[in-house]
Amino acid sequence: MTDGLDDLKDITKRTSKMLFGEPKPGEESGPGAYALWKEFDPELAKHISMFYTGRLYSREVISQKQRELCAVAALTVLDKPRELAIHIGAAMNVGATREEVAEVIFQMATYGGVPTMVEGLRTLKEVLEKRAG
């Protein structure tokens, strides 16, 4: 266990910036809704962020694009539209195309049923419109 907490903070920031973009002033970007967590417990919010983003998402066993497409797959079948929108954005930030994201969502009809596929495509469409606009 060589990482000190300072290293972990740096890794968390770098990974978060790569996936979720530069935090805007007055807003902290990130998976889920980091600002929301902080309202309820800032210390725990940091640990949550450092664990999921710093420890898990920063790993390099699979490519970031592969990782984010798997996140898209999971969040589609779990039908979590807000978190899915964030990870569709992350997938595209690390190189996935619109067609690749759509393909993963279409495939999910098999495992999660057609309604989860439909909701997934709806979320994808909204993300594409926001990024285009």
- Minimum CB separation of residue 24 from a second copy in Å reads 19
What backbone torsions phi and psi does residue 63 show, to the nearest 5 degrees? -70, 160
Q: How far apart are the first and last CA of the chain?
A: 44
Query: How far apart are alpha carbons 42 and 107 in whole angstroms?
Result: 38
The token pair that represents 39 in the structure block: 């309202």
Using DSSP, state whether 31 is helix, strand or coil. Answer: coil
21 touches a second copy (CB under 8 A): no
- Does position 37 interact with a second copy (CB under 8 A)? The reply is yes
Neighbours of 89 (CB within 10 A): 18
Query: Does residue 130 belong to the site contacting a second copy (CB under 8 A)?
Result: no
Told to check if 131 binds a second copy by CB under 8 A, we report no
Q: Is 46 in the site for a second copy (CB under 8 A)?
A: yes
**By the criterion CB under 8 A, which residues form the site for a second copy?**
1, 4-5, 31-33, 36-37, 39-41, 43-44, 46-48, 51-52, 55-57, 59, 61-62, 66-67, 69-80, 82-83, 99-100, 102-104, 106-119, 121-122, 124-125
